Amino acid sequence: MTSSPDYPALPSHILGTPQPSFGRVAPARSHLSSDAERVDLNGEWWFRLAPRASAPLDFISPDDPPPPAGRITVPSHWVLPAGRDRGAPIYTNIQLPIPLDPPFVPDENPTGDYRREFDMPSGDSSSRTLLRFDGVESAFVVWLNGVEVGGSTGSRLVREFDVTGLLRPGRNVLAVRVHQWSAGTYLEDQDQWWLPGIFRDVALLARPTGCLDDVWLQADFDETRGRGFLTTRVDATDDAFPLTLRIPELDVETTFADRASLDAAAPLDVGTVEPWSAEEPRLYEASVTGVGETVRLRLGFRTVRIDGDRFLVNGRPVTFRGVNRHEFHHQLGRVFDEEAARADLLTMKRHNINAIRTSHYPPHPRTLDLCDELGFWVILECDLETHAFFFVDWVANPSDDPRWRDAYLDRMHRTLERDKNHPSIVMWSLGNESGTGQNLAAMSSWVHRRDPGRPVHYEGDYTGAYTDVYSRMYPTPAELQTIASDQGDIFGCTPAEAARVRSRPMVMCEYGAALGTGPGGLDWYDETVESSPRLHGGFIWEWRDHGLEHRTADGTTYFAYGGDFGEQVHDGNFVIDGLVLSDGTPTSGLVEFAAMSAPVRLSLAADALTVHNRQHSRGTEWLDIIVESVDDEGRSRVISTVLEDVPPGRSRVFALPTDATPPAGGWLSARAVVRDATAWASSGHVVAHADHSADPASPVPAAPAGRTRPTRTDGSYPAARFDPQSGELLALLGHEITGGRLELWRAPTDNDRGRGAGSFEIAAPESTPRGLGMVPAEPSEERWRKRGLDRLRHRVVAIETGADTFVVDTVVAPADKAPTLRVRYEWSALASDEPQLVVDVAPSNGWDTSWPRIGVHFTVPTSWHTVEWVGQGPGESYPDMRDGAFLGTHRATVAQMNTMHARPQESGHRSGLRRLDLSSDDGVLRITPAGRRLPGTGGFTLSRWSSHELDRASHPFELPVPERHHLYLDDGVHGLGSRACGPDVEPRHALWPSARSFSYRFRSM
């Protein structure tokens, strides 16, 4: 792009102007695979770091000695790994680490100087040479052999410079100065780490005579006839002709003699093709050969169209069951690692994720190759966010300032041009959280002209003035229902504007914030999306935690978040917000999302199985759907296998055999598994499951027929021992098991601490605007702490003892305040080998907040190291996050029972407990819930740390060495919600004070 005439000649450091680049800048073009020569300039470079941008330039000429400061690997970030006296990473969400003073930046501007020497052979026949930088944060200036080549901003975007005539045979010197802060910083205020440096590839590209500067093969699909059509667009000089297009698998070979014949060519009918979709990502190898080079591409034939309020690919509506994905590695930052990227995408596919929004910039181009190959619907987003201007009510926001127009258009040009050949990309996104204004509208207008075959997305266009889909982030299900209907107010819209956005497909670009344990309530969203064809799903925020691997002074490794590097301005652990941990370990939140995103939905009853095929275009022929009868020991037998194909979008009911009734205490289980191995899953991989069972009802333990005269005043019984003063358990069945007292507290989750939306404890969704609940309202954690739920106090009212009974009557008060609870613990059968505990809880009047949990807390020796249970599993589950768990017999070590988040918090609850076996080398303790209870309400948590120890720690290394393990037998727990950046716990999943009675039997085996 050329400089605007409104600006003087740009200074070489490009720090105080909105202009995106200067110098010998080459036009944006596709990222292509070519047989032309490429010189890789990655590797070891000379490097020095200065605290200001005004350091002397004394390293750019071949005659200058290299800077003495040291070496650096390219690509990398100079602040990683931390602790090398090269500055430190900084994490912010909305606020900037520099003053909001556009377009200027402070003089205190860390500046990295790079130098690379390389040799060029003599006799180079290239007509031109391009120097390509795939990613540099945030602004850079380049010199080649002492000549200033140019400079650029746009950290996550390719920039090529034409360096023809500047290379010499033999030794050459390339010098690059990189500034951490620039005018471009104001356009890159994404929720992520600030990580300066040359972090993507650097290369020299030979452009031979007759080269192909750009190739775009637009492969469309006619779904009515099943035929493919190809439009060939090539940017080349006349000496590149003739051009030959080949698609060997389709027997296509056609030649364009000259520019005129290419420009006049109608779309080529290539015959019957298999269309590309995220479910069946069919690719065809193609090549375009000119006089000077051959370019190779992989084609996917597909057509994207909007029909009213439907988003269609190949004529069928798409439901996005996707994630937002930053490009991030816990050790490398944003440096691309292809093996890690492929592992990311394979994990997504195995968890039924079908779509990716590239938040909030284009990823490394190889990532999109993998998306084409494995199959994902992709919304590709431009490298643009000006979120900091939110704090000043968007005053001086660059989005509506004509001085920034070139910068905005330049970023969109480079985004679209690089990646336009990818069939996985079905929508272009202008950026994220940048307010609104004329520059965004100009970007959209250009995209519509350049690529009318793909719609334009931007969430900040609340009134649908210049985009094609209506997008919202973190809407509540109540707001979604309003959008799906034809009446009611829509956020930010007049009635006429509301009618306009309702005429378009609706997508949630962000929802279900996955900070810490959670998110809860995904079933609420799934039910709502399924209820209306206008709603096309959305993208979880987000895929991965962004903890950076770091070490304490004693060498303990942990995942660091905002503030851990001494940043003056930061946003804490808000960067720890993924469905997988920083190292890629899946969480139960991912398993839950996999259940919500299942390609087929199974519903199981005593006599029938319903199969609902939710796929875009594929039947169920690739799946085996198996129904089994399972007994309470986990033994199973197959009773039915579904062989009939269910077409996409259809449901069918299959009768089960008359002998399908499971044995007493057992259940029915249905699984949909991959029949034949795929590129992303082995044969037998489970994509969906369902259970059917009547919740078992154990007999209520018999109370003593009558009170006997106290006979055991020392609290000692054959099966147990108690403190005669406090009534606490000291030993059980010969084991050092202690406690057994009521607990209401859990270590707050990130969602418990959040205030993203309002509170449903104070106002219901249906009675508040947009279903947000009461706004503003303090987080659940604050409500719980103010009422003392973390500081329960116990007062013994009476202790009654009998021949084999021990009864403790207590008053429990949060922080010794009203309201209170009357709690009665009745131990019976203490002379037998199967003692029983009944807990009766009666709350007083005056409770005005939910409870985190209601249960009893025991401590057990650390020698109890493994656990087996019958119930929901194998992962954790909560009232609003339990679809990903299934009924079965599960086993784990105590260490595996909790998710170790970067900030410790509540995790590890297992719902629907039927039997629990704790094991040590000396034996097994079996715990069985007794009495009748609501299905799925009973559960347990087993942890190396108590809720209070987890609550006090900010990082895992701050947790104490466990002296005891902690067992919580819960009659109920509060849901999770996603209030860290979304709605509160749905009222039906909230735990409100009520009278409770629950019981357990214990047996040593």
Active-site residue list: 433, 510
Q: Residue 276 has what DSSP assignment?
A: B
Number of H-type helices and E-type strands within the chain: 12, 59
Determine the residue type at 615.
Q
Tally of CA atoms within 13 A in the half-sphere of 757 that contains its CB? 31
Label residues 28-46 b or e (16+ Cβ within 10 Å = b): bbbbbebebbebebeeebb
List of residues 6+ apart from 985 with CB closer than 8 A: 520, 521, 751, 760, 780, 850, 880, 974, 975, 976, 977, 979
Look-up: residue for tokens 């079905």?
426
Do residues 372 and 300 touch, judged by C-beta distance below 8 A?
Answer: yes
The structure tokens listed for 79 are: 């602040």
List of residues 6+ apart from 458 with CB closer than 8 A: 429, 430, 431, 440, 444, 466, 467, 471
Q: Residue 942 has what DSSP assignment?
A: E
Instruction: Using alpha carbons, select from 375, 380, 382 the residue that is nearest to residue 348.
Output: 375
> CA-to-CA distance for 562 and 703, rounded, in angstroms?
55
Do residues 150 and 160 touch, judged by C-beta distance below 8 A?
Answer: no
Do residues 34 and 212 touch, judged by C-beta distance below 8 A?
Answer: yes
Other CB atoms closer than 10 Å to residue 257's CB: what's the count? 10
Do residues 419 and 381 touch, judged by C-beta distance below 8 A?
Answer: no
The structure tokens listed for 436 are: 């609104």
Do residues 728 and 741 touch, judged by C-beta distance below 8 A?
Answer: yes
Other CB atoms closer than 10 Å to residue 750's CB: what's the count? 28
The structure tokens listed for 231 are: 């439009």
Instruction: Using alpha carbons, select from 736, 697, 721 the residue that is nearest to residue 918.
Output: 736
Do residues 497 and 509 touch, judged by C-beta distance below 8 A?
Answer: no
Do residues 64 and 58 touch, judged by C-beta distance below 8 A?
Answer: yes
List of residues 6+ apart from 987 with CB closer than 8 A: 760, 764, 765
